[in-house]
Amino acid sequence: MTLREYRRKRDFRRTPEPRGGRGAKTARGQRATRAPSGLSFVIQKHAASRLHYDFRLEMEGVLRSWAVPKGPSLDPAQRRLAAHVEDHPIEYGGFEGIIPRGEYGGGTVLLWDRGTWTPLGDPVASYRAGKLKFRLDGEKLRGGWTLVRMGGRAADGGKNWLLIKERDGDARPGGREIVDAKPKSVATGRSIEQIAKASDRVWHSKESGNGEAKRVKKPAVVPAAARRAALPRTFSPQLATLVAEAPDGDEWLHEIKLDGYRIVARLENGRARLLSRSGKDWTARLPTIARAVEKLRARSALLDGEVVALLPDGTSSFQALQNALSEGGEPELVYYVFDLVHLDGRSLAALAQEERKTALASLLGSSPPRPIRYSDHGVGHGAEFKRHACRLALEGIVSKRRDAPYHSGRGRDWLKTKCIHEQELVIGGFTAPSGARTGFGSLLLGVHDRDGHLRYAGHVGTGFTAASLAELRRKLEGLEQRETPFASPPREAYGRGVKWVKPELVAAVEFTEWTRDGQLRHPSFQGLREDKPAREVVREEAERMDEIEDDPKRERPKTKRAPRAKAPSASAESVGGARLTHPDRVLYPDAGITKRALAEYYVAVADRMLPHVAGRPLTIVRCPEGQTGECFYQKHAGDSAPAALRRIPIGEEGKAATYLALDGVDGLVGLVQMSALEIHVWGAHDDDVERPDFLVFDLDPDPAVAWNDVVAGAKHVRDRLEELGLRSFVKTTGGKGLHVCVPIRRRLEWDAVKAFSKSLAESIVADAPERWTANPLKARRKGRIFLDYLRNGRGATFIAPYSSRARAGAPVSMPVAWEELGADVRADSFTVANVAARLARTKRDPWADVTKVRQSVTDAMVRELAKR
């Protein structure tokens, strides 16, 4: 066979498709006439003018090909039309990428399945006779199949065939279509939409020396959502906030924290400028990196990254970086790029972090110009990511919200967690050398306080080389002054021949800990930080994640603060057997609901609420000034919780953290006493926190989704659960959506339960991707319902049944019966003010059976989801 027709249809100067070798030999150099086993097959999903699947079998040295409009089916009753098309070269079996528009077959190609096929009989003779039987051994398709040529008018000149699955153990009669259940690439795991948006790996027909196909770059693709904007002339990079522990949720991505110089690369009209964090031009100091940036496939760009020196074990070293720059070793440095803020006339700053990284990966390609490297990342499991980084002796990790835009300056969308203590400090003086030492004895260091005063923080005398001692001494002599720069200089310094200097140099120092009086213990000098202004140096204090994660300021738009009500009397009274101070304080100004009214509400619903809340670890939203004031999440117990709330220890990061739990109505009132407007609970009880007993699927709709569609979606989730043998219950959230809840026996641990809920959510999304998404990025929710399964991870919480919400009108999360759902029952229909009337009117508790249901997530259910 020849490839004449294949080549006639294509201009290989324009299309990246392979031209193919000469001859009709197989890849093994043998004629395919005897039915050899292990010949290759491939199926490529092809979004051309019409979506179809290209089914290709290796035969007679080429890939014999059929276009299957609906794709293969595992149901033997489904006879799929397969239009015979021209033969393709064997090399085409590795093609995944984009055929340019205007070319034959222009569109996106996804490698949907691949493997080997075994003809049943002589393949060439069977093919010519119009009936080819064979077995497939692929990643998605297996077992017996038949390709049969149609006859009569339907044959279309012999072009039309039928692809039919044989009735064997691999058949799935009446089941879900395999192309819908498993839509992603077997090569890269991407969807066809992701390849269309982000593919920079367009296949090229030329071969490398080892016989593998090379990939060539296509022009960089600018995300469609990026807005037009001029390339900024000055730029301030985004900075990370130090935290004590890494966030664990799937809404975070994590990168290795690099120990180098922060560098912003500005590319304009083919010329690159490299700018330090403070805006200094470092282009002349890093010419190799500048030339590499100029080779990128962009007219203009703004990249954010870090220049580092790598040790033989792959870790970055600030001291090695200093040595390389001082000794002319710049070509050995590496520029790790982790963000793309501007590209070809469009600003990417407003896009989600994950979208910017996708665009960055597309720009850099699989082989970026040396010494540029893409800073890769992982998603979720922050604590585990950090532990692995620390085991490898890395500096730490940087965690970034996947859906957050780029903001200059320090904020809470980027967090850093360190494996070692490191601090930048301002050099305020130095002592004379002693013994055989040259240069100086030690450096006197300080940090700025909140008022801008430089406070003494200790001295460092280790970590220097002979060269660094000499170089530093020269720099210090040019900065000497008579007066001390410290607001509170150390007394002992005056007797040690100290020379004071202008506070302009910044030292990077490693140390073991801070002492109680604010001094460094066991410090070691790492180098000078020329990229950071001395005036910005302050002591870094690690913030707690419970003050950052789920920040209410970030989740809710800022509301106008209502005029402060007249201060109530400091009286106290007893409600539900618990003491309540300031009972007349208004918590919901628009609804006129006071602390007393909220406490009385909880007393009224306690009988129905407590079975679902008592004994579960809590997270609360506290609003001391009421719903219109500042609110914050509290996860750990703290010192201010009333005695009615029980303290429980739970392991976190190898140590015990103290959580709150309640057992009775006095605990509910105790939360009101703390001005808690929201009560969130774990899906486990405190007597076995490692084994959940409650699953929650949170339906969070985009504003464009009609309420009736949300109701229908909840019922669809219910039906899918029932197919697996699980009974579910529903409640409003008091916000925008609904919770479908599943009580289970305490048999599995968190990872297994979360994996099950993720599989179910992804299965539902795959059924109707135009209606659903399981991706937490808000940009992916447009016109869809976000099916949030992340509530089912260890430490995650959900709004408790009957809990109030910190929203206008005092809505509550209300259990309802499935038959109640409709236009009249919406997410925020029930409030603190109207629930009592509902309870009086409807005596039947729709959740009465929740604590009675005995059901488990089983291996059979997991296998059933895997089939879909």
Q: Which residues are catalytic?
A: 257
| Cα separation, 687 vs 679, whole angstroms | 20
* 647 close to 637: Cβ distance less than 8 angstroms: yes
* 72 close to 55: Cβ distance less than 8 angstroms: yes
| Cα separation, 682 vs 688, whole angstroms | 11
Secondary element (H or E) of residue 349: none
Type of residue numbered 40: S
Among 527, 461, 537, which residue's Cα sits nearest to residue 503? 537
| Cα separation, 414 vs 235, whole angstroms | 18
Displacement of CA 556 from its chain's centroid (Å): 21
| Cα separation, 858 vs 865, whole angstroms | 11
Ramachandran region, residue 241 (left: φ > 0; alpha: ψ -120 to 50; beta: rest): beta
DSSP state of 391: H
* 707 close to 713: Cβ distance less than 8 angstroms: no
Q: Within 10 A of 491 (CB to CB), how many other CB atoms are there?
A: 7
At a CB cut-off of 8 Å and minimum separation 6, what does 257 contact? Answer: 389, 394, 395, 396, 397, 398, 416, 417, 418
Tell me the DSSP string of 19-63: ---SSS--TTSS-S-S--TTEEEEEEEEESSSEEEEEEEEETTEE
* 258 close to 316: Cβ distance less than 8 angstroms: yes
* 17 close to 203: Cβ distance less than 8 angstroms: yes
**Token pair recorded at residue 414:** 């980027």
DSSP state of 547: G
Among 170, 168, 136, 148, which residue's Cα sits nearest to residue 37? 136
Q: Are strands 785-788 and 772-773 parallel, antiparallel or unpaired?
A: parallel
Phi, psi dihedrals of residue 414, rounded to the nearest 5°:
-120, 125
Tell me the DSSP string of 573-607: EEETTEEEESTT-EEETTTTEEHHHHHHHHHHHHH
| 3-state DSSP helix/strand/coil % of the chain, to nearest 5 | 20, 30, 45
